[in-house]
Chain A
Amino acid sequence: MKVIVSRSGGTAGIRLTWEVRVEEQPDPNTWAEFLNSLPWDDVTDSEATPDRFAYRIRCAPHEVVLAEPQVNGPWRDLVNRVRAANGM
């Protein structure tokens, strides 16, 4: 099981991707529980606005695209955890 967060856009237009392999984490069960608890099916489309980030989050079978203002609550938590696991 793995989760991939890809951030595109921003005024720099540079895409950065962070990946976490759940099995390789010190706390794989916590990760799996957390990933299963995310509101994957509740994401709605949002209008594009200049220079904001867009986040594509993949965790098979799920894939969502979130505009930056939508990255709140558990999604925010996910992005922070995935980045932290990648050391940035």
Chain B
Amino acid sequence: MTKTRGCNVGGRCQTLHMDTRELHTTCTIVPPYLLVRLAKLDDPRFAQAAAAARASLLRDSQIRQLRGGAHPFPYSGARTLPARTPGESDRTISDAGGQERLPGRRVRAEGQPAGTDPATNEAYDGLGATQNLFWTQFGRDSIDGNGLPMDATVHYGKQYDNAFWDGERMVFGDGDGQVFTRFTISPSVIGHELTHGVTQFTANLTYQGQSGALNESISDVFGALVEQHVKNQSTADASWLIGEGLFTDQVEGVALRSMKAPGTAYNDDVLGKDPQPDTMAGYVETEDDNGGVHLNSGIPNRAFYLVADALGGNAWETPGHIWYETLTGGALASTSDFVAFAAATADTAARLYGNGGAAHDAVMRAWATVGVVAAIPSPLPQQPAPPPPPSRPGVPRPPE
């Protein structure tokens, strides 16, 4: 009898140890988040600053690659010297034709017009939307931050109910037609899979227990942001659903997951009820699914939504920047748990937007609401000044 993998369920034994890698921010004068803001300014008055900031970001990302960029999986996409403008998409879609062999037959390269196959067109557009979000909002050029070509295969397998990032490329099944339709139909799912690539090249969170649930949650966060950004939806307008439209109309459900209300995305005879918890009180201990990485991700997913809801506006702005800088800034260990991630996002918010500012406050409150950190007294930063001591004749008052 072969025993099942020894699952480090919960990953609670991990302690946060600061990564010894040098932070890239120490060698640049303008911090990357500000460069990112400059690089995306569309106002013509700032065109020159924006162009310079883009160039600087590019250099910086190249330096980061040279310094540290561990590649956990070998990949074949490295390019020789470029005839490529940084930030431009470089997509190739292949068709597996119902086989499980990769990459399949090449059907659409960058710049070629749309054809008649919806899966090919959706994959091409979804890859473009993902590149667009990461480049324009975070100054990140593709999955590796260095222009890695984006490759995807559609029509993988027969009635294949899944999509995944295999370490080099995106792979999409057509679904079985009874429960799932094709997996390219949802921009948030495409963004989700590509973000697994971004995580692989950055914090490289171990896909087990709490670090695995964080890996999953980060894919949901940026998957949702890809969809909101391409649809130009604010936090209030957005559905906060992952995989909307993926179920056939025979299923009682709207999506795979809800970031706003984890546990409410479906309730169906065959699939059962959406099992995601929305606070630590519901944390699921299981040996399946690598320790419930797709279940417990509901907890950090909701924390992100709560931050976005508290701050209002577009979630890819302040909330997205806090999460992106935390993911890529080097403060996370690959084994970080929820508590360590909460602390890291709070530190990032304080560093980027001010200690005790609205963003910092929103992050602290969000993690408290989902039960990852202890509840904080309300209101947080403004302690009323202590009343002055009563003045009595003959007693010197303390200096004001």
A residues apposed to B, CB below 8 Å: 6, 8-16, 40-45, 48-54, 56, 61-65, 88
| Inter-subunit contact A11/B164 (CB<8 Å) | yes
What's the least CB distance linking B178 to chain A, in Å? 7
- Interface contact A11-B193, CB-CB below 8 Å: yes
**Distance of A56 Cα from B289 Cα, bound (Å):** 10
Given A48-B212, A50-B215, A61-B1 in contact, is the A15-B162 Cβ separation under 8 Å? Answer: no
**A9 near B163 (CB under 8 angstroms)?**
no
Question: Once the chains are docked, how many angstroms separate the CA of A52 from the CA of B160?
Answer: 11
On whether A12 and B180 interact (CB within 8 A), knowing A49-B166, A49-B207, the answer reads yes
Q: What are 27 A-to-B residue pairs whose CB atoms are below 8 Å?
A: A6-B288, A8-B289, A9-B288, A9-B290, A10-B161, A10-B162, A10-B164, A11-B192, A11-B193, A11-B256, A11-B294, A12-B161, A12-B256, A13-B257, A13-B295, A14-B256, A44-B2, A45-B5, A48-B207, A48-B290, A50-B219, A53-B162, A54-B288, A62-B2, A63-B4, A65-B2, A65-B5
In the complex the two chains form, is A48's CB within 8 Å of B208's CB?
yes
The answer to whether B243 and A12 have CB atoms under 8 Å apart is yes
| Chain B residue at minimal CB-CB distance from A60 | B1
Does B1 contact A62, Cβ atoms closer than 8 Å?
Answer: yes
Q: Which residues of B contact A49 (CB under 8 A)?
A: 164, 166-167, 207
Q: Which of B4, B163, B167, B212 contacts A65 (CB 8 A)?
A: B4
B158 smallest CB distance to A (angstroms): 10
B162 touches which one: A44, A51, A63 (CB < 8 A)? A51
What separation, in Å, do the CA atoms of A48 and B4 have in the docked complex? 13
Q: Judging by beta carbons under 8 Å apart, are A11 and B162 in contact? A: yes
**Residue in chain B with minimal CB distance to A66:** B2
B164 is contacted by which of A14, A48, A50 (Cβ under 8 Å)? A50
Q: Which residues of A contact B193 (CB under 8 A)?
A: 11, 51
A51 touches B165 (CB 8 A): yes
Name B's A-contacting residues (CB within 8 A): 1-5, 161-167, 176, 178, 180, 183, 189, 192-193, 196, 207-208, 212, 215-216, 219, 243, 246, 256-257, 271, 288-290, 293-295
Q: Is the CB of B290 within 8 A of A41?
A: no
Partner of B288, one of A41, A50, A56, A61: A56
CA distance A88 to B161 in the complex (A): 12
- Residues in chain B near residue A65, CB distance under 8 A: 2, 4-5
Measured between beta carbons, the chain B residues less than 8 angstroms from A8 are 288-289
Asked if B288 contacts A15 (CB within 8 A), the reply is yes
Please give, as numbers and ranges, the residues of chain B lying within 8 Å of A13 by CB-CB distance. 216, 256-257, 289, 293-295
- Contacts of B1 on A, CB cut-off 8 Å? 40-41, 61-63
Q: How far is the CB of B73 from chain A (nearest CB, A)?
A: 9
Q: Can you add 18 more A-B contacts, CB < 8 Å, to A6-B288, A50-B165, A56-B4?
A: A9-B288, A9-B289, A10-B164, A11-B193, A11-B294, A12-B161, A12-B256, A13-B289, A40-B1, A42-B2, A49-B167, A51-B164, A54-B288, A54-B290, A62-B1, A63-B1, A63-B2, A63-B3
The 3 closest A-B pairs by CB, nearest first: A13-B294, A8-B288, A51-B164
B289 touches A51 (CB 8 A): no
